[in-house]
Structure 1
Amino acid sequence: MSRIPRLPALFFALVIGALAFVPYLVGPYGVTLMIGMLGYVTLASAWAMFSGPTRYVSLATVAFFGIGAYTVAVFSESLSYPLLLLVAAAIGLVVAIVVGLSTLRLAGVYFVIFTFGLAELVRQLVTWYEVNMTGTLGRYIFLPVTPEGIYWQLLALATVTFLLSFAIGRSRFGLALKVIGDDEVVARHCGIDIARLKLALFALSSVIITLVGAIQAPRWTYVEPSIAFNPTVSFLTLIMALLGGANRLYGPIFGAVPLFLLFEWLSANFPNHYSIILGLLFIAIVFVLPRGVLAFAEEHWSRWRRPAIKPAAGGAQ
């Protein structure tokens, strides 16, 4: 098993403290950029928390992200903001349990197809309800939440997600999940409760993703299904996690930060070709860096550090 680098607690605290002061050092555009970056760091980390060890490729990210955003939009006028986040998390948890109980028995391409269909089904249901029941296609959000407040909330959620991934990866729970990812038959014979472990981790990951959507919802002011349930969110999250390495603790961070900046530049400079470039980049990552950039760097670093074997004196020439 490859060694996962350990980040000293003091250095980690200093990094989080420095990031907390970013809004005081950058302008409005910088805060907006950091909100988007932290959002995808958290999404990729939450996705990798489940899909990394279990190797279940989920495309349902945007379904839970949209549920969080729409929960805030629907109840923003009747509930206080902290209660809104709790309600969004509760709804995300219930949906995750229902979906997990019915789909985690699937594997491979069947699970991928189902999760992609789930995201589209939720979007269509919300659209139908808005058009036929409320007579509108979107909702306005007026909450006293500043961009700086959104940034600090996402920073806190990203920190909690990272610490949870750290704790799970070094626990018996995380070891059992890795066994499940390697071979579910072996895991079953070892006495591991596969269904319960997968369901628990899928629910935890989904709640975090739901909270990302709920926290970011006030920045849009106006939310409609095409915004909240944009399938690009699922694909970007997947690409970011795969680039960094879904099985590495820091993988989602190393994948999300550079790719988010690249996607921002591409969407601004090549808006008509953005989707094509996104697809080509995804194919390139799968073929060139199937295990992520961190695993690629570790392998080549080990080869470079490995000393050359010298023939023994007097040996055969």
Structure 2
Amino acid sequence: MIRIVGGFGLAALALAALAWLPTRFGAYGVGLLLGMTGYVTLASAWALFSGPTRYISLATVAFFGIGAYTVAVLSESLPYPLVLAIAGVIGLVVALVVGLATLRLVGIYFVIFTFGLAELIRQLVTWYEVNVTGTLGRYIFLPISSEQIYWQLLGLAAITIAIGWWISRSRIGLALKVIGDDETVAAHTGINIAGVKLALFAVSATIITLVGAIQAPRWTYVEPSIVFNPTISFLTLIMALLGGANRLWGPMLGAIPLFLLFEWLSANFPNHYSIILGLMFIAIVFVVPRGVLAFFEDALKQVRSRRAPEVPVEASEATQ
């Protein structure tokens, strides 16, 4: 109990320090903090479902884009807090519909479907804008500063990590681990596989939708190619895998260094950025498939096993 209270105290201090940071940085620094926090939230939300179940989802950008476009469409007619709430509800409903239809798929079939879902939604939005509204994009004019966007994302990131902490210590978390190991065993133990997967997929998708909605005012002009960019899904996936998708702090540890690296690469190697991104993804899958946290834990175990004193055979027989 004391450790939990102390952990919450340290987390509150860290959160307060992070909230104070924008007051010490200029516009560029706040932009970096904003983008970094956005990807920390995306990776952590993605890992809520995909980490324990091992379902690789590429639908991140579909929900991200839904949130951004909801703000673009409704921001001129409704209060901003209400628009965020509507965006979250839309993301939840879409996740429930998609989850009911697809969560029985496994392996590569689920990956292909989620990638196709993101492209389908992008094409539907594009068709609607061109053929119904007569335009391809929308302007967003909201009196929201970069600092305010950052604080909203920071709060959402804290909530996402808190949800992950609660799940890891609940019966739902245990059920997810069993499902991830073997769904047949999970079914025989009485776990409601469909219900657990649907609930976590819906929570994950709703958070991702809110990230897109919160970040929408950052862009003055929004169009499908911006908010439905598949790079968002791949970056989120790489970040979560690098840190360790099945660890509480893994997605954050993967998102922060990779975001800074990708920012540097996109600024210095814009023509080779996609190639480098693909090579990094391949390297992560082969070198640290379970994430850097698991990699270092395994290395530490090997070091400890080598340092452990060997018991002579005569001594072990004498003790028996």
* 2:60 equivalent to 1:61: yes
User: What's the counterpart of residue 52 of structure 1?
Assistant: 51
Amino acid at match of 2:312: A
**Paired residues for 1:160-309 under 5 Å:** 160-306=159-305, 307-309=307-309
Q: What is the distance in 1 between the residues matched to 2:140 and 2:88?
A: 18
Listed as ranges, the matches of 1:128-143 within 5 Å are 128-143=127-142
Measure, in 1, the Cα distance between the counterparts of 2:245 and 2:161: 13
How far apart, in 2, do the equivalents of 1:10 and 1:91 lie? 35
The DSSP-based 3-state class of the residue aligned with 1:64 is helix
Secondary structure of 1:149's match? helix
- Provide the identity percentage: 73
Alignment-derived partner of residue 43 in structure 1 = 42
SS at match of 1:272: coil
Q: CA deviation at 1:305?
A: 2.7
Residues 242, 314 of structure 1: alpha-carbon distance in 2 compared, 3 angstrom cutoff = same
Question: What is the rounded CA distance, in whole Å, between the counterparts of 1:154 and 1:133 in structure 2?
Answer: 33
Which residue of the partner structure matches residue 150 of structure 1?
A: 149
Alignment partners' CA distance in 1, 2:220 and 2:78: 17
Structure with a larger share of its residues in helix = 2
What is the alpha-carbon distance in structure 2 between the residues aligned to residue 310 and residue 32 of structure 1? 55
In structure 2, the gaps of 5 or more residues are 316-320
Task: Supply the distance in 2 between the matched residues of 1:46 and 1:267 (Cα, whole angstroms).
Answer: 25
Runs (4 or more) in structure 1 with deviation over 6 Å come to: none
Name the SS for the 2:248 alignment partner. coil
Code of the aligned partner of 2:234: F
Q: Which runs of 5+ in 1 are unaligned?
A: none
Aligned residues: 312
Instruction: Provide the TM-score with structure 2 as the length reference.
Output: 0.95
The question of 1:312 aligning with 2:312 is answered yes
- Distance in 2 between the 1:313 and 1:52 partners? 44
Q: Tell me, what secondary structure is at the counterpart of 1:152?
A: helix
Under a length normalisation based on structure 1, what TM-score does the superposition of the two structures give?
Answer: 0.96
RMSD after superposition: 1.4
